[in-house]
């Protein structure tokens, strides 16, 4: 018995040889990638000093800048910019959710069949092709550097993800209510209104809250290219090496993201 086990073990393929060869190839390409890189040795040598200066500045929060008082207008303060960012994310999510609902039905096999569902799914993929930054740069040409551009960017980009998730919720729902409505001769609109929507509403709300959580982070970045929100003061502070201003903005972003994450997680747990 032991001889048969030993023989079977010897006949197994030597995977460790292939693993070692793969590791050597990866290390080789990693080493090659460093050959064309340029390293600023002066900055590297003074990294600890620069890092300590940056950290001391970041933790020195400028509360006047934070609240928009003592020489700052309220509209210039970080509290106002944070509220603007939240408003952009909320309105963008609402627009995306409302417009994604018909796309969700059109991409659901249970509603329109496999053929038309594939067409609608392709449209949703096209909407998701462009990253939000690229979409915002395009919309800025038409709507200018305003929070409206950020709202439209978030809303349009949300359609792609929400529409796909809405369609999956419709396809995975319990069909017993639809079969009951079929038995009494209900029309397609009646099946949607009284059979599908009540069944998937908790999932739709949960997915929309999750997307809102994502959009808050996206809205924080869109301001960097002039689409409103807290991103603009973040970029200005970083470019000017104003570490206390940067720390003030980062504090607001951290508090905002933590609060939104906690609230959305609580609401999702209540719904699902």
Domains of the chain in start order, with CATH, are 63-271 (1.10.3720.10)
pLDDT digits (tens, 9 = 90+) for 20-65: 888 999 998 888 877 766 767 677 677 777 788 888 888 888 898 8
User: How distant is the alpha carbon of residue 51 from its chain centre?
Assistant: 30
Q: What pLDDT is recorded for position 132? A: 87
> What's the whole-number average pLDDT of the chain?
84
Q: How does residue 211 score in pLDDT terms, banded at 50, 70 and 90?
A: very high
Q: What is the pTM of this model?
A: 0.79
- Residue of higher predicted confidence among 185 and 254: 254
Of 195, 181, 187, 197, nearest to 102 by C-alpha is 197
Q: What pLDDT is recorded for position 5? A: 57
* CB contact at 8 A, 208 and 220: no
pLDDT digits (tens, 9 = 90+) for 62-102: 898 889 888 788 888 899 999 999 999 999 999 999 999 99
pLDDT digits (tens, 9 = 90+) for 230-256: 888 888 888 888 888 999 999 999 999
Euclidean distance between CA atoms 226 and 235, whole angstroms: 10
Euclidean distance between CA atoms 60 and 245, whole angstroms: 9
Residue 6 confidence (pLDDT) above 70: no
Q: How does residue 115 score in pLDDT terms, banded at 50, 70 and 90?
A: confident
Residues of the chain above pLDDT 90, percent: 21
Q: What pLDDT is recorded for position 13? A: 63
In sequence order, what are the residues at sequence separation of 6 or more whose Cβ sits closer than 8 angstroms to the Cβ of residue 86? 216, 219, 256, 260
Residue 14 confidence (pLDDT) above 70: no
């Amino acid at each position: 018995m032991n001889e048969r086990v030993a023989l079977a073990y010897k006949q197994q393929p030597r995977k460790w040889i292939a693993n070692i060869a793969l590791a050597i190839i990866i290390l080789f390409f990693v080493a090659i990638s460093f050959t064309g890189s340029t390293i600023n040795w002066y900055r590297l040598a003074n990294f600890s000093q620069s890092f300590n200066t940056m950290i001391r500045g970041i933790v020195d929060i400028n509360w006047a800048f934070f609240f928009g008082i003592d020489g700052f207008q309220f509209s210039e303060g970080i509290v106002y910019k944070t509220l603007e960012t939240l408003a952009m994310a909320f309105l963008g999510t609402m627009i995306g959710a409302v417009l994604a609902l018909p796309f969700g039905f059109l991409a659901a096999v249970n509603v329109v069949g496999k053929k038309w569902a594939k067409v609608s799914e392709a449209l949703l993929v096209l909407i998701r092709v462009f990253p939000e930054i690229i979409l915002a740069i395009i919309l800025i040409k038409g709507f200018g550097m305003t929070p409206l551009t950020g709202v439209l960017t978030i809303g349009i980009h949300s359609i792609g993800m929400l529409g796909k998730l809405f369609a999956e919720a419709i396809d995975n729902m319990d069909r017993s209510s639809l079969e009951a409505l079929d038995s009494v001769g209900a029309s397609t609109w009646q099946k949607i209104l009284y059979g599908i929507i009540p069944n998937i509403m908790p999932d739709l709300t949960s997915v929309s809250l999750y997307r809102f959580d994502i959009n808050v982070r996206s809205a924080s970045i869109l301001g960097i290219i002039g689409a409103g929100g807290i991103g603009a003061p973040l970029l200005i502070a970083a470019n000017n090496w104003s570490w206390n201003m940067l720390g003030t903005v980062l504090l607001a972003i951290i508090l905002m993201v933590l609060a939104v994450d906690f609230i959305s997680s609580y609401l999702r747990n209540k719904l699902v």
